[in-house]
Structure 1
Amino acid sequence: MRVGASRDEAEATPVAPDTGTPRAGTPPPTALTLRALGLGSLIGALMCLSNLYVGLKTGLAFPAALIACVVGLGTQRALLKVSPTRFGPALSLQETSAMQSAASSAGYSTGGTIVTASVGYLLLAGHHPPVWALLLWTLFGSALGVVLALPMRRAFIQREPLPFPSGLAAASVARSFHAGDEAGQRGARALGMGALGAGLLSFMRDGLQWLPASLALPGAVLGVPLAGLSFSLDLTLMPLGTGALVGLRVGASLLLGALVCFGGLAPWMYEQGLLTQTGFFGVLEWSMWPGAALVTSASFTHLLLQRGLLRRTFGSLLGTSRVPDEAPDAAGAEVPRSWFLAGVTLLSLGLVTVGAVAFGIPFPLGLLGVLLSFAFAAVACRATGETDMTPSGPLGQVAQLAFGVLMPGNTLANAMAASLSGNIAASSADLLTDVKAGYLLGVRSRQTFLAQLCGCIVGSALIVPVFYLLVPDVSAITEERFPAPAGFFVAGVARVLSAGLGSLTVAARWGALVGALLGVVLVLLERFAPERARRFIPSPIALGLAFALPASMSLSIFLGAVAAALLARTRPAFAEATTVPLASGLIAGESLVSLVTLLVLSAPS
């Protein structure tokens, strides 16, 4: 699930579309320098590991363009203070855009396969696929998403300029940092303080073990202790940063879902004998079904209500007219058509070959999946451009359902098929978000494209081996270590498609039915309820996700969202400059230190 506060950030700091846009006959400055790619690769590697950790912990993912820009610029400012001669001069605006493109590609585009299909494969098979297979699958999928976005650039950024809020916000933040104004300085300080504080807390908790991981909450519900229902106070700052980014509505929806599921339904069902055991995974055996049904039905209903989305998407792609004020690219700015054709051909053949050899996906069905990916990528790019929300989850579920019908009984192939279209769509949307920022800063699309491919290589080469180290086997998927809710959804749907609904318990079937209906109702209320009432309607995606997260995680995310909302109300200017950098620092600091600690502690084994 991709969420974030970047749309609000974009609206708070608008960027004039014509500022920084290359004029006809004026070649844009060079962006693709070695230092820009080097810093982008470094930041992308850190973001890649951070998003892997957050994804395994919460199932959430964030628009990477804005965070990559903030973290990259904050890091460079810190390096310049250490040694201005060695690390100077400061990156230009164009180099900043290339740095951000490489970092966001490595940090976001390669992670979808890992936290969804790869965890699902592990849960279904009991072991990992070969390292080479997952590495190539991740690399080819993310790179194909980058390539498929190329023909959409002119349609969604020049011919019909969609806002792409994260891209607008990233360009605005880059200008703020480069101007050296007070907002940029506050952002850099907040980023550093957040990373340092979260890292120290994580080291004391996980490394030195001076602090417990959580404090159990006293009390019980229907005789079941709250601790046995996964209610506790986590001594961690990462979920607080997550809550600040997702916003109050999502945070409150997560808490509401946790209270309904773990605080109400679970103890009642245990008392009635409908649950055989408590504890997070005891409840999850049932709760994943209403949660998955709610998320899936809400996602599909939202797409169906956007009746003009497909028409606008493919109308823009097939259109040939050019808007009157569209500035032509400088010579050499566009990606050559031959690059697109060669990339699509080679990467598609690579994907279907790996799918056939390693995952049992027949070659013709693999080609069908690639063809579907182009349509899904177009829809994802359009939706991201309009709303800043990438529907990679529901698009992946469409692929999973399609492959479940075409390959009945093949659960492993079905799980991997879920990642094919969803991951490619996410990569395409991420590219266009970076292209939007680069376009506003005067960067050639060819340079953004190459920076994105560089990020795909860096992210894939790093995220796969680290995933194998962090999750060596199924025993690592635990409430305390990695709940991995997205992987449970994929594995559960694959099992049901293979065995049929009759394989579920009566309680699970009723839960799935109620969850599916609730998802539809909530989306309809979001769309048609009076304006004043809409802000009180829970987010159906967050509500469903709470059924697959420990209640303590939902509680922590809610507290972070409340803190950010209070800061925005009491000190709006300060909050605008510091919320995203501080939250990014909390997430990056804790996740990276925790990752290093886990790797060091597991090294002897």
Structure 2
Amino acid sequence: MPVGAARDEAEAAPAVPQAETPRVGEQPSALTPRALALGSLIGALMCLSNLYVGLKTGLAFPAALIACVVGLGLQRALLRLSASRFGPPLSLRETSAMQSAASSAGYSTGGTLVTASVAWLLLAGHHPPMWALLLWTLLSSALGVVLALPMQRAFIRHEPLPFPSGMAAASVARSLHAGDSAGRGGARALGLGALGAGVLAFARDGLQLFPAALALPGALLGVPLTELTFSVELMLLPLGTGALVGVRTGASLLLGALVCYGGLAPWLHGHGLLRETGYFGILEWSMWPGAALVTSASFTHLALQRGLLRRTFGALLGARRAPGELPEDTDVPRTWFLSGVVLLSLGLAAVGTVAFGLPFPLGLLGVLLSFALAAVACRATGETDMTPSGPLGHVAQLAFGVLMPGNMLANTMAASLSGNIAASSADLLTDVKAGTLLGAAPRQTFLAQLWGCVVGSALIVPVFYLLVPDVSAVSEERFPAPSGFIVAGVARVLSSGLGGLPEVSRWSALAGALLGVALVLLERFAPESARRFIPSPIGLGIAFVLPASTSLSIFLGAVAAALLARVKPTLADVATVPLASGLIAGESLVSLAVLLVLTASS
């Protein structure tokens, strides 16, 4: 999902001159122990937070900007605690390394767990071996970092793409380093948001002073609102999510929830076409139009970017080192790229064969396909700040559905391979963009990114097994995990064919696919004055696989951020992203800690 506030920040950020790019004889230190330690700490917190948010909502945020804000905010707090012990402040280059390690740990390692691993659990009824999932997560995220190296030369040096979140992270880092009022205000907003959300989460989940949601009275077409997932959530996390995604996506989520749960679901139930209500009863039908809408819209958007594939692979083929382009001792050696690709590809293919039933040659073919899909993802991220890792994962599912018909479990892992590699590659280039603007050497950003993959993988897999010990944990009350349901559903269809779906689901999927194409075409060709009234097809589709109460809360957060921007634009520029990040981090981490304690005690 794109981060609305991050994109606005990037558009407003001035172009930072490249004068700080390392030169021959200059060896600036970025990979200091304290930068990596702080990056590991922030990455661990973001890793857990993104896992929790992904299991709850299916949403994920490119972490470069949030990592920068949270990391520098935490260091500012540590300096106030003891300047002699934690000082001096991180340099800009150290900030770049910290942000790269944190972003990698917080974002690049989670895609497998909230999608394919949940799908595997739903299809098989049990988890794969922990060692296998740990290696799969680590190797796929690391391979994404390595495969991004030739794209770095193509999309950042030869054809500089904006990578808006990377530009925004560099701009925010400079602002916070300047020690101006904006930096101080952002740090306060971050701390207050995290504290308030954490206290609320502890009172609700730990002390159980009040419930997570209040049921709404009434009914629609004879179906109680609670059976249609309408309630008032007593949570701050979705409010922070809404502030980041923006009012258009928030309004689209609300519209989708009203159409799905407030109109179609009770109507279908009343006509005997929907057997059960409740979240999972409705989800058995609603996931098909929702998934079709999101996937068709993403592919149409990519197709309308004329020449995207030609520019992508043309830039890769033409990205040769120019004389004097960059000193060898600051760049990543070609031998690192070649050895990394060979070793990581062989390792992934071996794990896929031993643990997931993926034939070794097809595993290598999956890596080759993932390189092509990662290139498209990096190009799309550089131009639009949107990484289509989900739809690209479905492309891999379709390809392996043809190559291995009937093997649902291997199909889900093929989707995770391409999705994780694409997300990791795009995240590296976003961090390289920020690092370039801050004067960090590409080699140091690459190493920090790999370190983040190790930290994130080592933490997120064991915690995932604790949070989701069995299928019963995937529930409306605990973890809806909508992304996992979509991957599992696609795998079932590829295994049995469309004939295995109920007729209402087939027609709904067709309608969703056509609507996704139509909305993207309207976005592209409608008059400028009318475009802001066109719903976001991604938000509309995701609303079909989220509880209606979650979509409502995200909408309220988006409206609150929009009102603040209108009434007090200066305050909004300083506080919106840090406050929203604090709300998400505070509630998710405290709720996660309470849940882990309760799980361990039981």
Q: Tell me the TM-score normalised to structure 2 length.
A: 0.98
1:431 is matched with: 428
Structure 1 residue 109 and structure 2 residue 108: aligned? yes
Query: Separation in 2 of the partners of 1:171 and 1:55?
Result: 26
Query: Separation in 2 of the partners of 1:236 and 1:28?
Result: 47
Query: Separation in 2 of the partners of 1:331 and 1:355?
Result: 36
Structure 1 residue 346 and structure 2 residue 354: aligned? no
Shift of 1:327: 7.2
Long gaps (5+) in structure 2? none
Residues 239-273 of structure 1, C-alpha deviation per residue, up to 9 Å, x if partnerless?
A: 00000000001100000000000000111111111
Q: How does 1:324-335 map to 2 (within 5 A)?
A: 328-335=325-332
Percent of matched pairs sharing the same residue: 79
Letter in 2 for 1:565: A
1:301 is matched with: 300
Residues 495-554 of structure 1, C-alpha deviation per residue, up to 9 Å, x if partnerless?
A: 000011111111111111111111111111111111111111111111111110000000
Query: Separation in 2 of the partners of 1:382 and 1:274?
Result: 42
Long gaps (5+) in structure 1? none
Q: How does 1:183-198 map to 2 (within 5 A)?
A: 183-198=182-197
1:172 is matched with: 171
2:34 is matched with: 35
Q: How does 1:82-121 map to 2 (within 5 A)?
A: 82-121=81-120
Query: Separation in 1 of the partners of 2:435 and 2:281?
Result: 48
Contact 2:289 2:510 in 1 (8 A): yes
Shift of 1:598: 0.3
Query: Separation in 2 of the partners of 1:327 and 1:219?
Result: 71
Contact 2:390 2:419 in 1 (8 A): yes
Shift of 1:20: 4.8
2:130 is matched with: 131
2:553 is matched with: 556
Shift of 1:299: 1.3
Shift of 1:213: 0.8
2:144 is matched with: 145
Structure 1 residue 523 and structure 2 residue 514: aligned? no
1:44 is matched with: 43
2:530 is matched with: 533
Shift of 1:24: 4.2
Structure 1 residue 586 and structure 2 residue 583: aligned? yes
Letter in 2 for 1:7: R
Query: Separation in 2 of the partners of 1:260 and 1:161?
Result: 42
Residues 387-425 of structure 1, C-alpha deviation per residue, up to 9 Å, x if partnerless?
A: 111111111010001001110000000011111111101
Query: Separation in 2 of the partners of 1:26 and 1:327?
Result: 13
Aligned equivalent of 1:416, options 389, 413, 430: 413
Shift of 1:3: 4.5
2:63 is matched with: 64
Query: Separation in 2 of the partners of 1:321 and 1:601?
Result: 55
Q: Give the RMSD, CA atoms, in angstroms.
A: 1.3
Aligned equivalent of 2:569, options 549, 568, 572: 572
1:445 is matched with: 442
Structure 1 residue 205 and structure 2 residue 207: aligned? no
Matched positions, count: 602
Contact 2:115 2:484 in 1 (8 A): yes
Structure 1 residue 122 and structure 2 residue 121: aligned? yes
Query: Separation in 2 of the partners of 1:293 and 1:578?
Result: 36
Letter in 1 for 2:11: E
Letter in 1 for 2:564: L
Shift of 1:331: 4.6
Shift of 1:329: 2.5
Shift of 1:15: 3.2
Shift of 1:97: 0.4
Please, which moves more after superposition, 163-172 or 215-224? 215-224
Q: Tell me the TM-score normalised to structure 1 length.
A: 0.98
Contact 2:289 2:511 in 1 (8 A): yes
Contact 1:26 1:330 in 2 (8 A): no
Letter in 2 for 1:374: F
SS in 2 for 1:149: helix
1:233 is matched with: 232
Q: Give 4+ residue runs of structure 1 displaced > 3 Å after superposition.
A: 1-4, 23-26, 320-323
Shift of 1:328: 3.1
Give the direction of change, closer, same or farther, for the CA distance of 1:321–1:17 in structure 2 (3 Å limit).
farther
Structure 1 residue 154 and structure 2 residue 153: aligned? yes
2:285 is matched with: 286
Residues 416-448 of structure 1, C-alpha deviation per residue, up to 9 Å, x if partnerless?
A: 111111110110000010001100111110100
